[in-house]
Structure 1
Amino acid sequence: MGLWEAFLNWLRSLFFKQEMELSLIGLQNAGKTSLVNVIATGGYSEDMIPTVGFNMKKVTKGNVTIKLWDLGGQPRFRSMWERYCRAVSVIVKPSLSGIPLLVLGNKIDKPGALSKQAFTDEMGLKSITDREVCCYMISCKNSTNIDSVIDWLVKHSKSKS
């Protein structure tokens, strides 16, 4: 990013504040908490404790404040996922009509990880036609495509009046 672009972004941030909420849902051990930590701090830790219930963290990127809801992936917590998806700007569950769907295939650094095409096919993403669907293959451990995910999130944030 050039100096001029950085200056324009700073100037925009003085007048245009944006907020969004993001609910991270997925199976246990999918890397949701790791993603929150990588987005918030840029750091990755091998020693993550499974989320019990939920955690919430606010992260500011430029003029966008993102409220990240990290929802536990254990079977006993899955019934509460929909409650945390009602007022969000982006979801990771196809049951709430019209809200953009961001699907992340994490842990691509692991041997035997699926290709993007195989992941897209397995998840049936091409069959979802009632909303925008975007898929990124990421690695929280190596920060692969994390910047692209953040850019997508910022692009989809909504101005709050």
Structure 2
Amino acid sequence: MGGSLLRSWIDSLWSRILSIFLFQKELSIAIIGLQNSGKTTLTHMLGGRPFEQDTVPTLGIQVSQFSLENSLIKVYDLGGQTRFQSLWERCFSKVDLIIYMIDLSDTMTLDESFEKLSKVMQMTQEDRIPMLVIGNKIDLIQEPKEKQTIATIPTYNYDSSERLRIDSTNSHLLKNADVLTRQVGVDLKNRQLHIPLRSSESQDIDVLPLNRDIAVFTMSCRNGLCISNVIDWIVQL
């Protein structure tokens, strides 16, 4: 026990020494999202670990620390189960960046995921915490057959702020980062956030100013697709 504590203390001291002499900055990140969206896998990838097929669901909070290019990164990997979502807000005051993960392949949970994201955007609006929204698992989304595409899937209007009704026939559209950006309510052109205000009779939109850095990427943690774009965006903060 004593040796383990001493080793932990030495590792912590060494990390601090490295942060002073080798790294330009320290960055604390909260990675949140619904269960099975790829939060732990992304944490591993940012830390240089290979993809693992089976990962244990995070219970509560798991903290990791590693170097990423010239930055010392501290990641709070927060559990996505409903009983742990109350922990998300507690970490917001501790971090420099919030990464919100979405499983784009699971159409059954997309509405809930988008709704939770809107709440997080509202909660962090005043503090202007930078956000990175990642649509994960694009490798698991099947492209529709050509005939089905022509017959049943409408053309997407990139200039409209109206959200799509996503189901198995059109979920492939979310693989496009521009489409996902609109779907989560981020209007980069006009620097606005479109937050749904649900009521029993209507669904109005609250328009907020986009007063912080926000980016939206689509990727696959399984095959590493677009991970370099994610890393480049993180280290430039």
For Structure 1 versus Structure 2, the TM-score category normalised by the shorter chain is 0.7 to 0.9
Q: Which has the higher contact order (CA 8 A, sep 6+)?
A: 1
Q: Using the alignment, how far apart are the partners of 1:40 and 1:121 within structure 2?
A: 30
Residue 140 (structure 1) aligns with? 221
Q: TM-score, normalised by structure 2?
A: 0.57
Q: Deviations over 1:18-45 (max 9, x none)?
A: 1010000101110000101111134001
Q: Which amino acid aligns with 1:67?
A: K
The CA RMSD measured in Å over matched residues stands at 1.8
Q: In the alignment, does 2:137 pair up with 1:107?
A: yes
Structure 1 position 16, deviation (Å): 5.4
Equivalent residues in 2 for 1:92-131, closer than 5 Å: 92=99, 93-94=120-121, 95-96=123-124, 97=126, 98-112=128-142, 113=172, 114=174, 115-126=176-187, 127-128=192-193, 129-131=210-212
SS at match of 2:140: coil
Q: Using the alignment, how far apart are the partners of 1:83 and 1:17 within structure 2?
A: 27
Identity score, percent: 37
Q: In the alignment, does 2:76 pair up with 1:74?
A: no
Question: For structure 1, which runs of at least 5 residues remain unmatched after alignment?
Answer: 1-12, 157-161
How many pairs align?
144
Question: Could you tell me whether the CA contact under 8 Å between 2:180 and 2:216 is conserved in 1?
Answer: no
SS at match of 2:97: coil
Q: Using the alignment, how far apart are the partners of 2:179 and 2:218 within structure 1?
A: 11
Question: For structure 2, which runs of at least 5 residues remain unmatched after alignment?
Answer: 1-19, 100-119, 143-171, 194-209
Q: Using the alignment, how far apart are the partners of 2:69 and 2:85 within structure 1?
A: 32
Q: TM-score, normalised by structure 1?
A: 0.81
> Which of 103-112 and 21-30 deviates more?
103-112
Residue 109 (structure 2) aligns with? none
Q: Using the alignment, how far apart are the partners of 1:65 and 1:146 within structure 2?
A: 18
| Misfit runs of 4+, over 4 Å | 13-16
Q: Which amino acid aligns with 1:101?
A: M
Q: Which amino acid aligns with 1:153?
A: I
